[in-house]
Each structure stands twice: as C-alpha cells, then as structure tokens.
Chains A and B, each alone.
Chain A
Amino acid sequence: MKKILIIGATSAIAQEVAKIYATQKHELILWGRNSQMLTAISQDLTVRGASKVSVIAHDLNDFSRHEEFVTNIWKDSKTIDIALLAHGVLGDPRKAETTQSELFKLLNSNFVSHASLLAFISTEMIHQGHGTIAVISSVAGDRGKQSNYVYGSAKAGMTAYVDGLRNRLFKTGVHVLNLKLGPVDTPMTKDHKKGPLFGKAPQVGAGIVTAIEKKKNTVYLPFFWRYIMWIICSIPESIFKKLSL
C-alpha cells in the first residue's frame, strides 16, 4: 500500500489519477481549497476502495503556511511515496497582459506556489530517501506564444525548476517527473472549443499513473504533443513572431 499526496486534488485530472490509486487500495491525502468538493472526492475514493483518505482544505496560494502544512503531512504519515502537484489556473490571458492582479494570480498559481511547495516537499523526500515527485506542467511552457504567454511562462519556469530539482535529487533516490499536458477536456477548459487534439481526463489520468510507475523524466500527454511541440519549437523565431498562435 502506497501513501499518495495530491495537491490540487479537486482538478479533474487529479481526480482521475486518484480514482486509479483508490481502486488499487492505496492511501490518499488530498490538498485543495474547496472543502465541499474535497469531501465529495474523498467519499468517492473511499467507495472505490482507497484504504484511507484524508483532506486538507486550505488555499495553496497562502505561501506562508506551506512549510507548516508540508511538515504536518509528513508528521502524520511518516512517509509519502508519491507527491503529485496538480493545481493551476488558466486565468484570463488577455487580462493578465495588462492587469497586475491577474498577472500575479497566474504566476502564483502556476509557478510560485509550486516552487515554494516543492522546496519543502523535496526536503522531506530527501530525508525519507525515496519517493516520486510528479508535477503537472503544460505544453504551453515549451514556447511562448501570444495567446497565453503569461500562463506559458509560469509553466516554462516550472519546467526549468523541475528539471533542476530532478538533477539535484537524483543521488538521493527521489525521482522527479515533469508532466507536460496538452489541453484536456475538463471544467478548466469548459469555455474552450474542443478540437480533436483535446485529451480526455481518464486517459490522461491513466497516462500519469503509468509515467509515475515507469519513472519517466518528462512525458507529453496525450503522447502526440511531443511531436506537435517539436514542430512548433523548430519554427525559426523570424517566422514564428509573425504567426498568430
């Protein structure tokens, strides 16, 4: 039986991951903001077979409490086998271009909060000497484009952070995984037109579980985004800057 910490546990993708672990009878610790939803999710996971589910309802952007919460989780659980960071917001990309509050919201919820949490989580993981840290990032971080570069830059920051952290933790026995997701059909993207490239949450969730199991370094989900991003990243900037992507 594994102990799995899921941060941003109300996200649709996190829920799919949690369902799989629940069916495998693992223990889950869910951290998110909406306590009503966390309760509903923990009921669901219990019915599906989780051996134990506990919830922490607290705003993830309250950075001042990160250390305290992370320390307490390890105090209660002794060890955590898998920590998945799944929180984030799409925000309003247009507003973020000119409005400081929206800009900070996007950066905080998609990078600063992760960097801060990972600092404390990696300390605990190093101490226990094993475990996997998996972070949900986005293909949007691979190249800045006008439609959502604020969100993208936060994710790009995260990619660099996660890569560096993997490098640092390698010799401690802790594995670090960067999950680069393409757009997925979830409540987060409910206002977006769904094209054929939209991933389905259950499939993406299963992909995450497999990537964790196989100790991958970076995975693209669904897989074809690796090739799409390879193409997008190989367009020369002199041309790219003229495109309306």
Chain B
Amino acid sequence: MMLLPSWGLYPKVQNQASQALESRFASLPLPDSTILPRGLGRSYGDSCLNNGGTLICSNYLNKFISFSSETGLIRCEAGVTFEDVIKLAVPKGWFLPVTPGTKFVTVGGAIANDVHGKNHHKSGNFGNHVTQFELLRSTGERLLCSRNSNPELFKATIGGLGLTGFITWAEFQLIKIDSSWVDQEQIQYHNLNDFFAIAEESEENFDYTVSWVDCVSSSDVRGIFIRGNFANAQSEDNFKLHKEKSLKNVPVFLPEQTLNRFSIRAFNELYFHKNISSHKAGLVHYEPFFYPLDSIHNWNRIYGKRGFLQYQFVVPYKNDAGAALNEIFQVLKKSQMGSFLAVLKTFGNLQPEGLMSFPKEGVTLALDFANYGDSLLKVLETCDSIVRSANGSVYPAKDARMSKQSFSTFYPQIESFEKHIDPKFSSSFWRRVR
C-alpha cells in the first residue's frame, strides 16, 4: 500500500513516514529525516510528497478561532478545509474570496500553493486575501507573519510550497454574497481568437470566467466559455448549502485502457454539443459551478494504477500568448495524447502576494494526461520549451516532471526565496528541481 500519495498518484513514493501535529500549540515533530507539511494531498505531483522523509499532517488542526459575520474576517487553524469554511460562511452570507476547483483543500495548502480560481482576473490569488498567519519553524520559533510583521517571510510562505515552515493558523477575508446561486452563461467558441474576444469582453462584468477546451477535435481549437456572478437573493433557498455526502465514488482503479484516444475524443465531442444552442444562460448552485468534480470521490482512480499527470502553464499576453498556445495545441494533436479535461482561462494583472506564486497576467491552460510514460514526458518537455521561450511558467502544484533548468527559468526569484527555507524542510519536488 502506498503511503499518502499525491492526487495524480504519480510519482509513487515508497519510503515516506507521516506524523500529525496534535494541536496548534504543540511543538513540531522533529524526526531524523526532513519534514514537509501536508494538507489534503490535492496537489497532483510531488510537491506534497517527501520520499525518504516525513510528512507532518495538519488533520488535527481543524478548529475555527474567530469569525465576524459583520466583516467576514475569519481566523482558523491551517487544517480547516475549504468545505468547512463554506459550511460555516455560506449560511451567513459569505464565501471564499478565491477557490480552486475542489473544496477538499486545506487553508494551509491553499496558502502554500497560493491557489487561484475562476476570479483571478478580478481577485488574484488566495494569498491576496490572507491578512496574517502563524509560522512554526523547526527552531521552535513561532512567527506572526503579515504585511507588517515578518513581511519577507509572509511573502515567501505564500506560494512557498510548504518549505518555509509550518503554518499553524491563518486569517483571511471572505467575500459577501447575496445567495448561494450563480448566474451562469455558457458560450461556444470555435477558435482561439473567439476565445480571446469573449474573455476580454467578459472580464469587466463577470467575476468568474473559465473555459473548457477541446484540444483533440480534428478541427480548430474549440470550447465552451463559462462566465458568471453570484446571483441576487432568490427565494427562501437563498443560502442553501451543498449536500454533504455523495454516493458516487470510484471504488477501485479502472483498467488503464479506459481513457484512450477514442473515449477521450468521444467525451469531448459530446461535451461540446451538450449545449444545443451556442449560448445558454441559467441559475446554478455554487457546488456544480465551482466544484464539478467533487461529486465523484476518488475520481483520480479512473486513470488506473499508473496514475496521471496534470500540466498547467501560463503565458503572458505580451509574448503572443495565442501563438504559443497554438504551438502547444499542435504538439499535443501530433502526439495524439488527448487530455480528458482541458481548461483555458485568462489571468489578470493583480500582483500576487507570494514571492514564488505561479499566476501572472496572461493565459493559462491546464491539461491532464493518463500516465503514458516516457512518450508523455517527452511531449511535456517540448511544451516546457515553448512555455520557456514565451516567458511563461509551469505550476508546481500540478507538476511531477519539469527539469531543474525549466524551474529556474520559470522562477528566477528562487535565489531570494531559498534564504527563507527552513533547513529541516524539504520535498520530493524541491530535491528534483533544485
């Protein structure tokens, strides 16, 4: 049995211990090996793995500390999940300021990857909304970090991949909502120019934008653009919560062949045409809008035991994002390695709070691939080189394979970041890229 794998189930770790921090007041366990904080393991690759070392789990740090339903300022322990926050906040008219595509992440994990969501163009990353947190270092020091207190460590820890110390609790600002429903529009697009046009037109009036893209169809790049805003008060169901439990689960690993070139293509074909008309509008609950995948537990097992890889990059507009994207789409088409779920979105120009944060102004594409082995690694290396020449970067939270050279090109600020790393902390990812 594999100990605490990452979401992509690749790479596999054989030799990894784990312990838990028992409370936010407890001292950090200091085994002989290196340590790495661990949330819910929703990072895809090896940034939440520590082969040969120990993971320090935050699952007992699940308490709220304070919450004001007047101001929406919330303080909680680092192992509190986004789902916990939603369950507390939505009935009182508040929502997460930024959320990734799953609510099964912890506050600590969200800070360490400085996660982004569908509202990046308006609200930036999660770290932009964090006001302060406590960082526990292996020296036993407890440092209060904010924009005023230990500001450098604050910046290094946001997006700091869990390497600067253990976040025990954090405080952040929620956003006000009038209902738990979203006014959503879906628009088909038939090529990249269309996509850029719709994105530009949508950014001002829509808080949330994202698009699903079909990159296996033989025609041009096509997809469905989804945009929305939290709706005004609706009815007595105004602040309805998501259902707590879902019976859907992938109980076992599916055979490797389940997702092949043909099934992926068929899925994409169907998905594209699920909109009968080219434009559809309606009211949807926040759950399917933000967390479409959460209703199927363990969906990562559909890729089989070998696991799968995600690949997410951003390229700035300035360097002709369209050309770089087209080039990458061509590479993928030629390789015949289809992505089951591909997501295309624009990032805005809000300055991230973190030193090592991934997002920057431009366009981002996230793809997932069954683990085809070497041939896939070669294709992704080619993609990396395109991203490098376009001055873009690849997202560590979704990475399992980028080279040292790529990493230092994507993140030239590592030199100043490294000064803040706690000497006792390390990860499989860090040893690979550094």
Contacts and interface: CB of A to CB of B under 8 A. Distances in A.
Nearest to B68: A47
Interface string B10-49: 0000000000101111000000000000000000000000
Contact of B88 (A37, A43, A48): A48
Given A47-B88, A48-B88, A187-B60, A40 B23 contact: yes
Contact of B64 (A12, A47, A187): A47
Contacts of A41: 63
A47 B65 contact: yes
A47 B171 CA distance: 14
B218 interface: no
A75 interface: no
A47 B67 CA distance: 6
Contacts of B65: 40, 43-44, 47
Contacts of B22: 187, 190
A47 B94 CA distance: 14
Given A48-B88, A187-B60, A43 B23 contact: no
A36 interface: yes
Nearest to A47: B64
Secondary structure dominating the interface of A: helix
Contacts of B205: none
A43 B24 CA distance: 13
Given A187-B20, A190-B20, A44 B64 contact: yes
Contacts of A44: 63-65
B64 A36 contact: no
B63 A43 contact: yes
Nearest to B19: A190
B148 interface: no
B87 to A, nearest CB: 9
Interface in A9-65: 12, 36-37, 40-41, 43-44, 47-48
Contacts of A43: 63-66
A43 B67 CA distance: 10
Nearest to A44: B63
Nearest to B80: A44
Given A36-B25, A37-B25, A48 B20 contact: no
Interface string B63-95: 111110000000010000000000010000000
A166 B23 CA distance: 36
Contact-size category for B? 10 to 19
Q: Which of A44, A47, A187 has the most CB of B within 10 A?
A: A47
A41 B63 CA distance: 7
A47 B24 contact: no
Interface string A158-178: 000000000000000000000
A112 to B, nearest CB: 26
A44 B63 CA distance: 5
Contacts of B20: 187, 190
A187 B26 CA distance: 13
A204 to B, nearest CB: 15
A47 B169 CA distance: 15
Interface in B264-285: none
Contact of A37 (B23, B66, B67): B23
Contacts of B64: 43-44, 47-48
A47 B88 CA distance: 8
Interface string A175-195: 000000000000100100000
Nearest to B23: A37
A24 B22 CA distance: 27
Contacts of A37: 23, 25
Nearest to B92: A49
Contacts of B63: 40-41, 43-44
A48 B22 CA distance: 21
Contacts of A190: 20, 22
Contacts of B88: 47-48
A41 B23 CA distance: 11
A40 B24 contact: yes
A47 B91 CA distance: 13
Contacts of B60: 12, 187
Q: Which of B63, B66, B67, B76 has the most CB of A within 10 A?
A: B63
Contacts of B66: 43, 47
A36 B24 CA distance: 10
Contacts of A187: 20, 22, 60
Contacts of A36: 23, 25
Contacts of A48: 64, 88
A12 B66 CA distance: 20
B367 to A, nearest CB: 35
A46 B22 CA distance: 21
A43 B76 CA distance: 10
Q: Which of B22, B23, B66 has the most CB of A within 10 A?
A: B23
Contacts of B67: 47
Nearest to B25: A36
A191 to B, nearest CB: 10
A42 to B, nearest CB: 10
A26 B23 CA distance: 25
A90 to B, nearest CB: 15
A190 B57 CA distance: 12
Nearest to B24: A40
A41 B25 CA distance: 12
9 contacts: A12-B60, A36-B23, A40-B23, A40-B24, A41-B63, A47-B76, A48-B64, A190-B20, A190-B22
Given A47-B66, A47-B88, A190-B20, 18 more contacts: A12-B60, A36-B23, A36-B25, A37-B23, A40-B24, A40-B25, A40-B63, A40-B65, A43-B63, A43-B64, A43-B65, A43-B66, A44-B65, A47-B65, A47-B76, A48-B88, A187-B20, A190-B22
3 closest residue pairs by CB, A with B: A47-B64, A44-B63, A47-B67
